[in-house]
Amino acid sequence: MIFLKNNDEINKLRACNLIVLEVLDTLESLIKEGISTYELDKYAEEMTIKKGAQPAFKGYRGFPASLCISLNDEVVHGIPSKKRIIKSGDIVSIDYGVYLHGYYGDSARTVGVGNISDEAKKLIRVTREALDLGIEQCRVGNRLGDISFAIESHAKKYTFGVVRDFVGHGIGRNLHEDPQIPNYGAAHSGLLLQKGMVFAIEPMFNLGTEKVCIQEDEWTAVTLDHSISAHFEHSVAILDKGPFILSKL
Ligand code: MG
Ligand code: MG
């Protein structure tokens, strides 16, 4: 079931996502050679609690940390660890969510550390662009497939693999609500978009195969061919005047 949000609810979702934005900005400034993924998780958690919110992912279906942090060939759901030290050349995906006053915020981005390859730079840029192109389709009267198609088409231009095992989602009083938003699909197909729908749109592109597998920790998704992967996500409300990106200033 899809829940349409009124203005009051959209304001609450905005408040959640502004905290997510602030945490991600802070983490991005802290991501340097030598820091552990555990330290980044602690920063995120402490910042969130100081603001009176709660980390949304901690304990969600048993996830053991606040921050999902996925390096290089890891696609999503990497678990922070004291043993995992960031080094130059890594690409680091940070995915964060908070819960505040009954609502959720969710956003993600991928950053390069030190000298990263030109291929990695391109993968990061194109995945970010695909998110923007998907968001641009979040308009009353469009269809869900328009979002999916815009994202997939951009990846295809560069022959990147579009992850199919994980998708975007509605967000509101629940972290994950209907509808599912695949990063692939046909234009002019599927659900008719309406005012008050709020979506977390999250393309995940791989340099190689679209196929992923889950590590022994039962969480971390990695590319099957160990090629690198990038992930960008925004929470977006559909308004009469067009998309309102809740997790961006
Ligand atoms: Mg997320
Ligand atoms: Mg999400």
Percent of the chain with pLDDT over 90: 100
CA–centroid distance, 140 to ligand 1, in Å, is: 24
Q: What is the pLDDT of residue 192?
A: 98
Q: What is the pLDDT of residue 114?
A: 97
Q: Whose structure tokens read 């996830």?
A: 63
Domain boundaries, the chain: 7-245
* Six token digits for residue 161: 């693999």
Low-confidence residues in the chain, pLDDT < 70 = none
CA–centroid distance, 41 to ligand 1, in Å, is: 14
CA–centroid distance, 22 to ligand 1, in Å, is: 15
- The predicted-structure confidence for 86-118, as pLDDT tens digits, reads as follows 999 999 999 999 999 999 999 999 999 999 999
Residue 91 near residue 113 (C-beta atoms within 8 A): yes
**3-state class (DSSP) for residue 24:** helix
Q: What is the pLDDT of residue 55?
A: 98
Q: What is the pLDDT of residue 94?
A: 99
Q: What is the pLDDT of residue 51?
A: 98
Q: What is the pLDDT of residue 82?
A: 98
Q: What is the pLDDT of residue 151?
A: 99
Ligand number nearest to the C-alpha of 166:
2
Q: What is the pLDDT of residue 32?
A: 98
Residue 10 near residue 185 (C-beta atoms within 8 A): no
Q: What is the pLDDT of residue 103?
A: 98
Q: What is the DSSP string of 191-229?
A: PBP-TT-EEEE--EEESS-S-EEE-TTSS-EEETT---E
Ligand number nearest to the C-alpha of 96:
1
Q: What is the pLDDT of residue 194?
A: 98
Q: Whose structure tokens read 């997510």?
A: 20
CA–centroid distance, 88 to ligand 1, in Å, is: 24
CA–centroid distance, 54 to ligand 2, in Å, is: 16
Q: Does domain 7-245 have CATH number 3.90.230.10?
A: yes
CA–centroid distance, 221 to ligand 1, in Å, is: 14
Q: What is the pLDDT of residue 29?
A: 98
Q: From CA 105, how far away is CA 108, in angstroms rounded?
A: 11
Q: What is the pLDDT of residue 195?
A: 98
CA–centroid distance, 170 to ligand 2, in Å, is: 9
CA–centroid distance, 96 to ligand 1, in Å, is: 6
